[in-house]
């Protein structure tokens, strides 16, 4: 094996000799340092390899030829070797980043930096408590001195604060150590652990002092004012190393000491870590300064890690599990946090909103995205797996407070990190990046390393199928060729996805899965054509679109809850990125991701309560005979309902749909929302053994659906913006689906699925048509449009077909789906709900009428004379969907029969439902009815064509006038559009119904947001900026923890 002493000796030799080497040549000195880091990392890797082949090898090494406790022992086990490799790699990267500083400052800086890494290495290796103190001091003192890299007033005073805090922490540690020596007669940690607990108050105090000394160095809230200032003002290259290497080494020391702590202490430290995680994230929420935000984020992360190791230790989990989880979090955090600090040094902008400069270099922007998303714990980053297991462990042990804190803190974290990402992607800023090869290398390599490692992790993770990797591969490959023309990428994407869907996805699924594959994957592929309308590369679409479609596939084929959740998260991420691509979508996308994450955490909790499944068989196949508890079902349902935009949690929906690119909105509304339907159906299947249609919960769910349909329709009728109108319309339609699902009957589910298919067709159709209108007119306000029927006849026909289908009048399929829902509601005796659903359909007429009338009929606007039909790429999907609608309208059996068959696998088909040619026949004791789509179509066609012919005849006699052949009003109002008849079209109705649509949800969420912000602002007040106050905080914090410990 490798003797770790060699590593230490190497560092020491290099540090001591630097002054001499520097006299010869500065480059040589810097080079020597890099070589030392590389060698040390290599030795770590070698040791890892060695231990792989000889797992039982002796890992303890002594010094001076005497065994411990006489001498100092080092341990070079697997974890140590892993950390050594990682830290030295990091030292190398950080060293390259600081290259210019070293070149400028020479031997002193080089030696200090070497010593910093020496301290970290030693701290990881040593098994001696006093030796830990020495290495801790080497680490701290070198970082103190390196603050002098930047000699501004702020960094100097931050340095003094840091030294005072660090000095006090180590003084406390030292007092603790010496008293521990007094009681145990040893300084060796292992001997000390072997002695067990000593029943004495003084010993406990000593132990507490050792622990608090280390803990203070880990910067817990609120005793961390000094650390915040340090991160904010120090050179970002140094801050990166402090946030990663130093924190990592201190954390490992804390971990080493855990076996010594009594349960009460573990409890207190776990609690303090969690408090630090939640509150530091809370305060970070309102930070405008990027480096200070990173500072809060770093302290939050180290709080999280302390919490995790202490909590898991308290739960008496085996060391391997604790380490795997902690290292998963640490690994991600390590790269991401340091990477962000490095980027901060390249961006050189303090203000978050100025991070838009990153757009000047798309490579850096991508790197930034990788770090931010990794930090938040999205799959496939290791932090995701760590959090997944944490949630499961806390659920299994019923540690509800810990679970809640963990999820709350993570949610806050998503809030500010995504806000930051939004600024970087969307905000324009004229500044310049301070780029240089040496500075770019470190963030670049860490991003590559992090992604590659994560990629292998998800590929090799036990129990994950190949389908989970596809979305990421798609993201990667399409990301690499994103400079190619959109048309080429579109063609490839459609080809690849179609091949995959047809030959790989569909055959692996049961019928119900195939239904959803058609809706989610097929529906998306048809709409991909629209994205080919872009000239040039249209960056940012295809990587995320293909990722989205593949993640739909892995969602449907998921066979374990973990696969389901990974697919869900990837889907969320891809859709977030697509929304964010919209021109003004920054805030809308943030809202979307925060709600989605909240939903995802509800889902995660729900999933963690579920029994294990049979890997290899799609969940949708297993769902029929799996049974889950009602709590699990409740939370998972909550998660899915958020994605569907159910009433109360729909707050994100209008703005996200409105601000995304038009084609994206089409996919979001027609396809993505169905992913929620899929999830909801899955849950309902799993509780179908004990929840029936007349269960209170299902009636409540039904009412939720009804009110979503009703309020959604009302809101839609109020909109002036066509996209918002369609957004609320989608919400309303999803309400019908929820109602149908809540029936828990054969007919109910068939009607819901039929509605889902229909909604896909007509909503995509309308959105595509409207996308062409927006494209050509350049506005979304309906009152600014008019008379487009002549200029965009295809769009008109599409919208006409669409709204006939939506409104549920014969002859199109919408009628069928409404009819199904009404009959199935009546069949289950839910008359009230049926009534309100019917009423909502009536309201739907209002907004649909407004849509077609205002946009396509009436007076053409003079400034829209140039408008012409949309490009072919937008027409292709419209053609596909029109044909689909016609087909299922004429021959409803085409789709109702398979749907019934699919549902029949879970809820048996009643005898009274049958097919007779083109006719669907209902013949139950309660209901009699039939629907012959074919016949209805012919009749309606007839009814339509006769007046049409007559009109054409009459039309020959009409006198045609030019548009401006009439006299305009004598006066021109100040805001002419407000006199447009389409403006506030249904004002009268809203006098009667307005109270329904008061923005209660808006008020609620804004209230939550304001409260969060003001709590955050109040908490931040404790950081007065005064160094003395920070010292006081440390002592008060220590005393509070001590009193909580309650030593007698």
Partner 1 sequence: MLVLISGVLLIIIGIWAMLTRKNIIRIIIGFSIVDTGVHMIIVAIGYIKNATAPIIDSAVNTSSDISGAVHVNSLIVDPVPSALVLTAIVIGLAVTALLLSFAIRLYKVSGSLNIDDYEELKW
Partner 2 sequence: MIKYLLTFLALLGIGYMFFPLVMEFSTPTRLNPLAEAYVSSSVNDLNMPNVVTAIVVSYRGLDTLGEVTVLFLATAGVGFLLRKRNHEAIFRRQGSEILRIGASFLAPLIIVFGVYIFTHGHLSPGGGFQGGVVMASGILLMVLACKEFSFSHNLIHFVESLSGVGYVLMALTGLLLIGFDSFLDPRFLPKGEWLSLFSSGAVPIIYSLIGLKVGSELSSVIDSMQTGGEK
* Least distance from partner 1 to the Cβ atom of residue 285, Å: 12
Among 207, 228, 558, 589, binds partner 1 (CB under 8 A): 228
Using CB under 8 A as the criterion, what x/- string covers residues 170-189 for binding partner 2?
A: ---------x--x--xx---
Using CB under 8 A as the criterion, what x/- string covers residues 125-164 for binding partner 2?
A: -x-x-xx--xx-xx--xx-xx--x--x-------------
Cα angle 907, 910, 912 (rounded to 5 degrees) comes to 160
Residue 1047 binding partner 1, by CB under 8 A: no
Contacting residues for 1014 by C-beta, under 8 A, at least 6 apart: none
* Least distance from partner 1 to the Cβ atom of residue 231, Å: 10
Residue 629 binding partner 2, by CB under 8 A: no
Among 25, 31, 67, 941, binds partner 2 (CB under 8 A): 67
**Contact partner, 213, from partner 1, partner 2, none, Cβ < 5-8 Å per class:** none
**Residue 248 near residue 332 (C-beta atoms within 8 A):** no
Residue with tokens 């301070």: 434
Between 142 and 608, name the residue whose CB sits nearer to partner 1. 142
What are residue 914's phi and psi, to 5 degrees? -150, 165
Between 130 and 891, name the residue whose CB sits nearer to partner 1. 130
Between 110 and 633, name the residue whose CB sits nearer to partner 2. 110
**Contact partner, 979, from partner 2, partner 1, none, Cβ < 5-8 Å per class:** none
Distance CA 436, CA 346 (A): 8
10 Å CB burial of residue 559 (0-12, 13-18, 19+) is buried
Distance CA 680, CA 651 (A): 19
Between 101 and 723, name the residue whose CB sits nearer to partner 1. 101
What are residue 744's phi and psi, to 5 degrees? 55, 30
* Least distance from partner 2 to the Cβ atom of residue 193, Å: 16
What are residue 64's phi and psi, to 5 degrees? 60, 10
Using CB under 8 A as the criterion, what x/- string covers residues 283-312 for binding partner 1?
A: ---------x--------------------
Query: DSSP strand E in 996-1047: where?
Result: none
Between 502 and 1035, name the residue whose CB sits nearer to partner 1. 1035
* Least distance from partner 2 to the Cβ atom of residue 221, Å: 18
Using CB under 8 A as the criterion, what x/- string covers residues 91-120 for binding partner 2?
A: --------------xxxxx-xx--x--x--
In the structure encoding, which two tokens stand for residue 264, read together?
Answer: 């009460």
Distance CA 504, CA 252 (A): 46
CA-CA distances (angstroms) from residue 970 to 309, 966, 973, 974? Answer: 78, 12, 10, 13
Among 24, 55, 56, 65, binds partner 2 (CB under 8 A): 65
Residue 958 binding partner 1, by CB under 8 A: no
Between 159 and 382, name the residue whose CB sits nearer to partner 2. 159
Among 122, 380, 748, 802, binds partner 2 (CB under 8 A): 122
**Contact partner, 775, from partner 2, partner 1, none, Cβ < 5-8 Å per class:** none
Contacts with partner 1 in 150-169 (CB under 8 A)?
151-154, 156-160, 163-164, 167-168
Residue with tokens 């850096």: 364
Q: How many residues bind partner 1 (CB under 8 A)?
A: 46
* Least distance from partner 2 to the Cβ atom of residue 1033, Å: 9
Between 175 and 404, name the residue whose CB sits nearer to partner 2. 175
Using CB under 8 A as the criterion, what x/- string covers residues 1000-1039 for binding partner 2?
A: -----------------------------x--x--xx-xx
Task: Report helix, strand or coil for 922.
Answer: strand
* Least distance from partner 2 to the Cβ atom of residue 200, Å: 6
Contacts with partner 1 in 183-202 (CB under 8 A)?
187
Residue 62 binding partner 1, by CB under 8 A: no
Residue 466 binding partner 2, by CB under 8 A: no
Cα angle 306, 172, 200 (rounded to 5 degrees) comes to 85
Distance CA 201, CA 203 (A): 5
Contacts with partner 1 in 103-142 (CB under 8 A)?
130, 134, 137, 141
Distance CA 262, CA 254 (A): 14
Stretch that binds partner 1, among 226-234, 823-831, 832-840, 972-980 (CB under 8 A): 226-234
**Contact partner, 135, from partner 1, partner 2, none, Cβ < 5-8 Å per class:** partner 2
Distance CA 918, CA 899 (A): 15
Distance CA 589, CA 576 (A): 6
**Contact partner, 1025, from partner 1, partner 2, none, Cβ < 5-8 Å per class:** partner 1
Residue 8 binding partner 2, by CB under 8 A: yes
For residue 885, give the nearest of 1006, 770, 758 by alpha carbon. 758
DSSP 430-498: -------HHHHHHHHHHHHHHHHHHHHHHHHSTT--GGGTHHHHHHHHHHHTTTS-HHHHHHHHHHHHH
For residue 824, give the nearest of 915, 721, 753 by alpha carbon. 753
For residue 806, give the nearest of 819, 793, 794, 815 by alpha carbon. 815
Residue 205 binding partner 1, by CB under 8 A: no
Between 64 and 956, name the residue whose CB sits nearer to partner 2. 64
What are residue 130's phi and psi, to 5 degrees? -75, -35
Quote the DSSP letter at residue 1.
-
What are residue 928's phi and psi, to 5 degrees? -130, 135
Using CB under 8 A as the criterion, what x/- string covers residues 21-50 for binding partner 2?
A: --x---------------------------
Instruction: Report cis status (omega within 30 of 0) of the bond before 162.
Output: no
DSSP 384-405: HHHHHHHHHHHHHTT-HHHHHH
**Contact partner, 178, from partner 1, partner 2, none, Cβ < 5-8 Å per class:** partner 1
10 Å CB burial of residue 877 (0-12, 13-18, 19+) is buried
Q: Please report, as ranges, the residues that interact with partner 1 according to CB under 8 A.
A: 130, 134, 137, 141, 144-145, 148, 151-154, 156-160, 163-164, 167-168, 170-171, 174-175, 178-179, 181-182, 187, 228-229, 232-233, 292, 1017, 1020-1021, 1023-1028, 1031-1032, 1035
């Amino acid at each position: 094996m490798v003797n770790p002493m060699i590593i230490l000796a190497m560092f020491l030799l290099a540090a001591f000799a630097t002054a001499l080497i520097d006299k010869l040549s500065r480059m040589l000195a810097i080079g020597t340092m890099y070589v030392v880091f590389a060698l040390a990392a290599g030795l770590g890797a070698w040791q890892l390899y060695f231990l792989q082949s000889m797992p039982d090898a002796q890992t303890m090494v002594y010094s001076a030829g005497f065994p411990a406790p006489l001498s100092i022992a080092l341990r070079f086990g697997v974890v140590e070797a892993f950390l050594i490799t990682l830290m030295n790699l990091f030292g190398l990267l950080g060293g390259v980043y600081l290259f210019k500083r070293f070149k400028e400052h020479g031997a002193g800086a080089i030696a200090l930096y070497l010593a910093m890494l020496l301290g970290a290495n030693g701290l990881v290796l040593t098994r001696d408590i006093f030796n830990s103190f020495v290495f801790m001091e080497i680490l701290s003192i070198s970082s103190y001195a390196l603050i002098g890299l930047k000699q501004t007033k702020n960094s100097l005073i931050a340095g003094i604060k840091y030294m005072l805090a660090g000095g006090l922490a180590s003084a406390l540690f030292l007092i603790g150590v010496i008293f521990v020596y007094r009681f145990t007669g040893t300084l060796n940690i292992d001997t000390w652990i072997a002695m067990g607990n000593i029943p004495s108050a003084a010993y406990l105090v000593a132990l507490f002092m050792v622990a608090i000394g280390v803990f203070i160095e880990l910067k817990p809230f609120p005793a961390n004012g000094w650390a915040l200032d340090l991160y904010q003002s120090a050179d970002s290259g140094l801050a990166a190393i402090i946030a990663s290497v130093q924190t990592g080494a201190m954390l490992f020391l804390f971990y080493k000491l855990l076996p010594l702590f009594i349960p009460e202490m573990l409890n207190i430290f776990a609690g303090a870590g969690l408090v630090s995680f939640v509150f530091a994230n809370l305060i970070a929420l309102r930070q405008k300064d990027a480096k200070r935000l990173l500072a809060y984020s770093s302290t939050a992360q180290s709080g999280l890690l302390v919490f995790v190791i202490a909590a898991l230790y308290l739960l008496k989990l085996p060391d391997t599990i604790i380490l795997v989880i902690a290292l998963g979090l640490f690994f991600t955090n390590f790269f991401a946090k340091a990477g962000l600090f490095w980027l901060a040094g390249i961006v050189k902008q303090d203000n978050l909103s100025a991070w838009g400069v990153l757009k000047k270099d798309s490579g850096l922007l991508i790197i930034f995205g990788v770090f931010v998303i990794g930090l938040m714990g999205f799959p496939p980053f290791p932090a995701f797996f760590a959090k997944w297991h944490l949630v499961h462990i806390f659920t299994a042990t019923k540690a509800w407070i810990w679970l809640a804190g963990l999820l709350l803190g993570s949610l806050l974290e998503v809030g500010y990190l995504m806000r930051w990402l939004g600024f970087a992607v969307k905000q324009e800023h004229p500044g310049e990046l301070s780029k240089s090869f040496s500075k770019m290398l470190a963030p670049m390599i860490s991003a590559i390393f992090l992604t590659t490692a994560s990629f292998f992790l998800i590929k090799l993770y036990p129990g994950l199928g190949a389908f989970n990797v596809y979305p990421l591969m798609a993201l990667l490959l399409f990301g690499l060729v994103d400079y190619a023309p959109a048309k080429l990428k579109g063609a490839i994407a459609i080809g690849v996805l179609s091949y995959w869907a047809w030959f790989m996805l569909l055959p692996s699924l049961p019928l119900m899965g195939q239904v959803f594959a058609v809706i989610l994957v097929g529906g998306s592929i048809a709409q991909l054509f629209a994205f080919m309308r872009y000239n040039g590369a249209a960056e940012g679409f295809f990587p995320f679109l293909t990722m989205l479609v593949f993640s739909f596939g892995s969602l449907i084929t998921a066979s374990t809850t973990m696969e389901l959740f990974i697919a869900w998260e990837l889907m969320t991420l891809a859709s977030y990125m697509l929304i964010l691509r919209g021109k003004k979508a920054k805030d809308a996308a943030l809202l979307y991701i925060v709600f989605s994450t909240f939903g995802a955490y509800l889902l995660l909790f729900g999933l963690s309560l579920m029994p294990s499944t049979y890997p290899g068989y799609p969940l949708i196949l297993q769902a029929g005979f799996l049974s889950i508890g009602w709590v699990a079902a409740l939370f998972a349902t909550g998660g899915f309902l958020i994605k569907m935009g159910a009433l109360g949690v729909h707050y994100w929906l209008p703005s996200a749909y409105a601000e995304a690119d038009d084609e994206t909105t089409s996919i979001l509304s027609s396809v993505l929302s169905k992913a929620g339907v899929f999830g909801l159906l899955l849950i309902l299947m799993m509780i179908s053994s004990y929840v029936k249609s007349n269960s209170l919960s299902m009636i409540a769910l039904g009412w939720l659906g009804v009110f979503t349909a009703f309020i959604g329709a009302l809101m839609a009728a109020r909109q002036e913006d066509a996209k918002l109108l369609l957004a609320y319309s989608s919400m309303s339609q999803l309400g019908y689906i929820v109602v149908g699902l809540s029936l828990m009957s054969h007919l109910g589910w068939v009607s819901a699925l039929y509605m889902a298919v229909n909604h896909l067709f007509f909503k995509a159709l309308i959105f595509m048509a409207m996308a062409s209108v927006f494209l050509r007119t350049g506005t979304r306000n309906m009152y600014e449009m008019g008379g487009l029927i002549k200029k965009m006849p295809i769009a008109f026909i599409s919208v006409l077909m669409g709204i006939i289908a939506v409104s549920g009048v014969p002859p199109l399929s919408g009628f069928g789906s409404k009819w199904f829902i009404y009959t199935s509601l009546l069949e289950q005796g839910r008359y009230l709900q049926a009534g309100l659903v019917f009423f909502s359909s009536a309201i739907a007429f209002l907004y649909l009428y407004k849509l077609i009338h205002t946009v396509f009929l009436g007076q053409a606007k003079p400034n829209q004379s140039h408008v012409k039909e949309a490009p072919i790429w937008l027409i292709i999907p419209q053609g596909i969907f029109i044909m689909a609608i016609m087909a299922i309208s004429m021959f409803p059996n085409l789709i109702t029969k398979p749907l019934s068959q699919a549902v029949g696998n879970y809820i048996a088909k009643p005898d009274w439902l049958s097919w007779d040619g083109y006719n669907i026949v209902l013949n139950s004791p309660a209901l009699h009815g039939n629907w012959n789509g074919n016949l209805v179509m012919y009749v309606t066609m007839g009814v339509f064509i006769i007046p049409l012919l007559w009109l054409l005849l009459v039309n020959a006699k009409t006198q045609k006038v030019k548009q401006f052949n009439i006299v305009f009003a004598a006066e021109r109002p100040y805001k002419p559009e407000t006199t447009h008849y389409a403006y506030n079209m249904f004002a009268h109705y809203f006098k009667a119904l307005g109270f329904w649509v008061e923005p209660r949800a808006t008020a609620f969420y804004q209230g939550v947001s304001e409260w969060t912000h003001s709590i955050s602002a109040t908490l931040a007040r404790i950081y007065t900026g005064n160094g003395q106050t920070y010292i006081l905080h440390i002592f008060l914090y220590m005393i509070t923890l001590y009193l909580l410990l309650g030593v007698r």
